[in-house]
């Protein structure tokens, strides 16, 4: 059964961000989907997404696809209402975004904030990162991610259960990946924390922000925009 308290908190968070009209439009959209009457555009997107998810998962023998709503999951975090439904990043979208990096990622650590079932961790294994890690606050998705990581068998990949706001960034060069995992208030805290970490331990840092809802938080010093791709922006420090 859905967590009514979570739904209420989430609705309030959306209302603060998008206003009354935006909230009503979003509710109507989800109601249409819930009763089986999505728009033609939404239905076409769903079918294409399901086909891409199926192809990826069958190729690797993993389970990373689908849309997972947070209200039915086990989450212990003060930021629960600021999280969004998990929709696995499409492989083409991921690789296009990574191609916008202005650095050679060899030796960098890849960090996925809101790592879900671990698909981006698996795709990051295609690059010469020294280490690949993620953090996910939903217990059920984290458990699935560990099974997927085990199947791939790449020793560079790990995943943590926890709150992204509390993540301790390694002091290596970093590529931080986000596929619109959080609402603006949490993204703002994360942007400040990454900047503070880079100031305390100077190193190269890149943030690959896919489907960015708050890119302006990375548009002022010390951040700078260093690249872009369709549906993604890349920001850098140092």
Give 21-31 pLDDT, tens digit per residue. 655 655 555 55
In terms of CATH architecture, what is 91-237? 3-Layer(aba) Sandwich (3.40)
Q: For 168-198, what is each residue's pLDDT tens digit? A: 999 999 999 999 999 999 999 999 999 999 9
| Average pLDDT in the chain | 88
- Local structure of 141: helix, strand or coil: helix
pLDDT at 69: 84
For 47-76, what is the mean pLDDT?
A: 91
Flag whether pLDDT at 234 surpasses 70: yes
For 190-208, what is the mean pLDDT?
A: 97
pLDDT at 13: 56
Higher-scoring residue by pLDDT: 83, 122: 122
DSSP 57-100: HHHHT----SEE-GGGS-B--TTGGGB--EEPPPHHHHHHHHHT
Flag whether pLDDT at 206 surpasses 70: yes
Instruction: Give kind and range of the element (H or E) at residue 43.
Output: helix 40-60
pLDDT at 35: 55
Flag whether pLDDT at 223 surpasses 90: yes
For 70-76, what is the mean pLDDT?
A: 86
For 110-123, what is the mean pLDDT?
A: 98
pLDDT at 70: 81
For 51-56, what is the mean pLDDT?
A: 94
pLDDT at 4: 56
For 127-139, what is the mean pLDDT?
A: 97
Q: How sure is the predictor about 16, in pLDDT bands with cuts at 50, 70 and 90?
A: low
Look at strands 131-136 and 157-161 and give their pairing.
parallel
Where are the chain's structural domains?
91-237
Sign, Cα dihedral of 121, 124, 126, 128: negative
pLDDT at 68: 87
Neighbours of 47 (CB within 10 A): 10
d(CA 181, CA 177): 10
pLDDT at 71: 79
pLDDT at 1: 46
d(CA 122, CA 117): 10
């Amino acid at each position: 059964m859905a967590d009514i308290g979570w739904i209420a908190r989430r609705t309030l968070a959306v209302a603060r961000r998008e206003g009354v009209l935006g909230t009503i439009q979003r509710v109507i959209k989800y109601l249409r989907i819930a009763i089986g009457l999505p728009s033609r555009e939404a239905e076409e997107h769903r079918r294409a997404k399901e086909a891409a998810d199926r192809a990826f998962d069958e190729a690797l023998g993993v389970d990373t696809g689908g849309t997972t709503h947070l209200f039915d999951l086990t989450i212990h975090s003060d930021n629960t209402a600021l999280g969004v439904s998990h929709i696995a990043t499409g492989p083409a979208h991921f690789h296009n975004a990574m191609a916008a990096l202005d650095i050679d990622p060899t030796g960098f650590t890849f960090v996925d904030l809101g790592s879900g079932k671990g698909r981006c961790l698996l795709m990051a294994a295609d690059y010469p990162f020294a280490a690949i890690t993620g953090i996910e606050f939903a217990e059920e998705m984290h458990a699935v991610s560990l099974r997927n990581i085990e199947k791939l068998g790449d020793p560079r990949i790990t995943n943590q259960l926890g709150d992204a706001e509390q993540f301790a960034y390694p002091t290596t060069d970093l590529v931080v990946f986000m596929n619109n995992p959080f609402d603006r208030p949490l993204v703002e805290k994360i942007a400040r924390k990454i900047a503070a970490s880079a100031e305390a331990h100077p190193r190269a840092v890149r943030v690959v922000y896919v489907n960015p809802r708050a890119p302006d938080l990375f548009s002022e010093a010390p951040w700078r925009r260093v690249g872009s791709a369709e549906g993604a922006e890349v920001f850098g420090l140092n």
